[in-house]
Structure 1
Amino acid sequence: MSALLAQIKDGMKDAMRAKEKERLTAIRMLLAQIKQVEVDSKIEVQDADIIAILDKMIKQRRDSITQFEAADRQELADAEKLEIEALQVFLPKALDDNEIAQLIDAAVTESGAESMKDMGKVMGILKPQMQGRADMGKVSGLIKARLS
């Protein structure tokens, strides 16, 4: 079992003991998604796989928040925000803007990217380094600005 999966299961037990219903629900959804990936792929998930799952789940919740707020459903948006907070605990430390800029510069140099045509090369280098540590949509915008 991966270290991150053990940490998630411990987090579930802690949420049960503390009777934190919202946090427990979010962690159970995460564990169900991990199990789904294991069954579908017939593999035992590693930390990198779990981080990708977490990243996807958080992105989905951010999209939901935007839609709920547009529909003036603040109580549902607040519930999604609580789920994001519960899930973010398991992600690695986030990169700050300076670190992101340094990684982008290094990836552009490494790939020899000169124009927007080379953006895929840069993203291919950055994605494994930044997965779960930075908003890839924001990173994509920064790369576009750098290559323009």
Structure 2
Amino acid sequence: MSLKQKLQEDLKSSMKNKDTVKKSVVTLIRSSIKQYEVDNRVELADEDIIDIISKQLKQRRDSLVEFEKAGREDLVSEANAEIKVLKEYLPQQLSEEELNEIVKATISEVGATSMKDMKSIMSAIQPKVKGRADGKLINKLVKINLQ
């Protein structure tokens, strides 16, 4: 079953089960997919849909930080619920240890020696971990390994 079909089925089941959080998140994902397909006149593959979901997850995480700073517990709990739903559609996330091994291997592949090589390291790592790791964590691990 493709990711698009899974989203369609989950939308139906969330409507039947009156799961408003999941329904709104799935609707938003499907809307973003449809918008992209209409704008670019293409049919998205699962990898492209994962990119869209990853972007939405990043938006929620960024919003979560702002909500916490503002002390808005109602919005924090809502964002956490949405993040949980979004993670269901992404591939299994890499652990920090697994990601650290990939970072070390990529640094040696690229031959990086300083922070000046950050761009080439990040561009080499991204295809390897697409949708399976947070960019901020990758960035942090690269900095640690380059010191």
TM-score bucket of the superposed structures, by smaller chain: over 0.9
CA distance in 2, matches of 1:42, 1:126: 29
TM-score of the superposition, structure 2-length normalised? 0.93
Q: CA deviation at 1:23?
A: 0.7
Q: Residue 107 of structure 1 contacts residue 125 of structure 1 at CA under 8 Å; is this kept in 2?
A: yes
Mapped pair 1:133 → 2:132: yes
**1:91 is matched with which residue?**
90
Structure 2 portions without partners, runs of 5+ = none
Structure 1 partner of 2:108: 109
* Residue 121 (structure 2) pairs with residue 122 (structure 1): yes
Q: Deviations over 1:49-86 (max 9, x none)?
A: 11111111111111111111211211111111111111
Instruction: Using structure 1 for the length normalisation, give the TM-score.
Output: 0.93
Query: How far off its partner does 1:19 sit?
Result: 1.3
The superposition leaves residues 80-106 of structure 1 with CA deviations (integer Å, 9 ceiling, x where unpaired) of: 111111111000001011210111111
1:66 aligns with 2:65: yes
Structure 1 residue 43 corresponds to structure 2 residue 42 = yes
SS across alignment from 1:50: helix
One-letter code aligned to 1:130: V
Amino acid paired to 1:85: K
Contact in 2 for aligned 1:55/1:131 (Cα 8 Å): no
Percentage of pairs with the same residue: 36
Distance in structure 2 (CA, Å) of the matches to 1:4 and 1:60: 20
Partner of 2:74: 75
Letter in 2 for 1:28: T
Task: Choose 8-17 or 22-31, whichever is displaced more.
Answer: 8-17
Root mean square deviation, CA, Å: 1.3
Aligned residues: 147
Distance 1:110 1:13 in 2: 46
Q: Partners in 1 of 2:124 and 2:3 — Cα distance? A: 24
Give 1:7 shift: 1.5
Where does structure 1 differ by over 6 angstroms across 4 or more consecutive aligned residues? Answer: none
